[in-house]
Amino acid sequence: MAIASKKCGNCNRSFTSDQDFLHGTSRWRVCSDSNLWFNCACGSTLILPKNKYDWYSPEIAMGPEAKAIFNQLSETKNLPHIPASILKLQTLIQDPSSEFDDMAKAIKTEPFIAAQILAMANHLKSSREQTNQSIKSIEHGILYIGKKALNDLVMAVPAQILKVNTAHFDLEKFWINCFLHAAIAEKISARYSAKFSPEEVYLAAFLSNLGKVVCGFYYPEMLDRICQLVSSPKTMMPWPKAEKKLGTPSHVVMGEVAAAIWGLPEFVMDGIRFHHHPAHQPKSDPATVKIYEVVGFSSLIKHWILLEPGHIDKMILKSYMNYFDLTEKALESLVSEMTVLKNAKSPLAS
C-alpha cells in the first residue's frame, strides 16, 4: 500500500500512516485533476498527489445510510469531482500573503466561478440592504464578501454545475428558492443567535437541499415523481413525506453523499442532515441554537413566503414556535417582515 508521507506546513504535524491521515482530519475531497485534498486538524489545507492513496474513500465522512446509498450509486455513475480551479482558488484565498488583486485575477480566468461569485455578492448585498445598486466588478464582489467567507462560498459552485434531465423539476427555480432560503436564514440567525457568521448560515441554508439535485442527477424520473406529488393540488405534501410514500432515497441522504464527496464544511453537512428535524428543546437559548435549527426554521418560512402551505410540516413548525417562543401573531409578523427578501435581486436573472 503506497502511503505518501506528508507534513503540515502550519502545525508541523507529520502524517506517515493511513491512520495518521484519517485521525482528526476533515473535508477530504478529490479534485478534478485526481489530487486528494484534506484539512489538517489545525485547519490548513494539505494536498496528496494522485494515486498515492488506496485507503481513502469518501465513505469516511458518511453515516451508515449514506454509505449504503453511496455504494449502490458508485456502480452506476459518479458525481463530478470539484474543479481544480476552485481548490486552487481556495489555496490562494487561504494564503495570508495573497492580495485581493491576485484573487480577482484568478477568479476572472474562470468565467463560471466569476459569475457565481458576482451573483452571490449581489444577492447578499440586495437582501441585506434592500438596494438596487449592484456590484459590477469581481474586485468589488470579493471585497464585499470578504476573504474568509469567500473561501466557503466558492464551495457552493460545484453543486451549481450539476445538471439534471427532468421534466417537472425546475432547476433554475430551485436555485432561486435556495437563494431566498439563504437570505431568510441569515436574518433569522442575526435575530435569534448571533454566534454564527452570516455567511456560514447563508451557505448552510443555500446548500441544505442540494440532495434534490443529486437525486435528479442519479434518478431523474424519481425526482419528477416526487415533484408531481409535492406540487399537485390534489396530493400536495412536504417533500420528505413524498419521498417516503414513493420509497425513493431521501434528499437528506443524497445531500450527505455529495457533501462527503465534495468535502463540504461540517456546518453545511449539519444543515443537510438535520434541516427536516424538529427543534430539539422547548425554549430558545441563543447560546444553544444549532445552525441546522436556523436552516430548518428558515425553510418553513421560505415555503410560507412562496405560498406553499402544503410543504410545511405542521408538527415541525410547532416545535420551532415553541423553541423560539413565538405566538402565532409573532410568527405571522416575522413572515411578513421576511417577505421583502423575495424581492432581493435574483442572482440568476441577469
Cβ nearer to Fe ion, comparing 126 with 250 = 250
Residue 42 binds Zn ion (CB under 5 A): yes
Q: Which of 11, 161, 167, 340 binds Zn ion (CB under 5 A)?
A: 11
Q: How far is CA 224 from the centre of its chain?
A: 22
Q: Which of 5, 10, 78, 339 binds Zn ion (CB under 5 A)?
A: 10
* Kind of pairing between the strands at 36-39 and 14-15: unpaired
Cβ nearer to Zn ion, comparing 16 with 343 = 16
User: Under the rule (CB under 5 A), what is the footprint of Fe ion?
Assistant: 209
Part in contact with Zn ion (CB under 5 A); list of ranges 9-17, 59-67, 158-166, 319-327 = 9-17
Q: Which of 30, 31, 36, 40 binds Zn ion (CB under 5 A)?
A: 40
Positions of E strands within the chain: 6-7, 14-15, 26-30, 36-39, 45-48
User: Could you give the CA distance from residue 245 to residue 96 in angstroms, rounded to a whole number?
Assistant: 51
Could you tell me the smallest distance in angstroms from the CB atom of residue 239 to Fe ion?
A: 6
Total site size for Zn ion, rule CB under 5 A: 6
Residue 14 binds Zn ion (CB under 5 A): no
In the bound complex, which residue of the shown chain has the CB atom lying closest to Fe ion?
209
Cβ nearer to Fe ion, comparing 290 with 345 = 290
Residue by residue, DSSP assigns 256-282 as HHHHHHHT--HHHHHHHHHTTSPPSSS
User: Could you give the CA distance from residue 206 to residue 156 in angstroms, rounded to a whole number?
Assistant: 8
- Closest alpha carbon to 258 in 269, 274, 242: 269
* Kind of pairing between the strands at 14-15 and 6-7: antiparallel
Cβ nearer to Zn ion, comparing 10 with 17 = 10
Cβ nearer to Fe ion, comparing 90 with 209 = 209
Part in contact with Zn ion (CB under 5 A); list of ranges 6-14, 54-62, 74-82, 159-167 = 6-14
For residues 257 and 331, the answer to whether their CB atoms sit within 8 Å is no
Residue 23 binds Zn ion (CB under 5 A): no
- Partner whose footprint covers residue 11, from Zn ion, Fe ion, none (CB < 5 to 8 Å by kind): Zn ion
* Kind of pairing between the strands at 6-7 and 45-48: unpaired
Q: Which residues bind Zn ion (CB under 5 A)?
A: 8, 10-11, 13, 40, 42
